[in-house]
Structure 1
Amino acid sequence: MSRATFEVYEDRAGKWRWRLVHDNGNIIADSGEGYASRQKCEQGLESVKQNAPGADVVELDDPPGSS
């Protein structure tokens, strides 16, 4: 059984976002961007749920935005 819950919410700017919150209250992941509609937000969330299981972990020598 999962110890985390996805939350969908509207931010102060009127954009829709999602976040994955552990039972202890810590935010594990978030959408990283605001969506114009709740529907698009939920589509983004579903994409993460479908594409993340079994995803590889890679180490980057030069992370994006570090130069």
Structure 2
Amino acid sequence: MENFRNTMIQEKVKLYPQYRFEWLPLAFAKTVSSELDFVQEARNSERAAKNFRNNKMVNLGATVEIVAM
């Protein structure tokens, strides 16, 4: 995967030399990784629900904990 990433960066640098793309894959990997952390996403959802609990215009569904083995 890293070879693919490096190849993609090199190709973009050739096509668009005026831009710096080196930071993009790492930032993307961090973002995707955090978005796929469903425990963290559940915490974020619970925090948002708590923050908006008195706002009748906002309706957030409940999070459900599922244990899988």
Larger Rg over CA atoms: 2
Same fold (TM over 0.5): no
**Which one has a larger percent helix, Structure 1 or Structure 2?**
2
Higher relative contact order (CA 8 A, sep 6+): 1
TM-score normalised by length of structure 1: 0.32
**Which one has a larger percent strand, Structure 1 or Structure 2?**
1
TM-score normalised by length of structure 2: 0.31
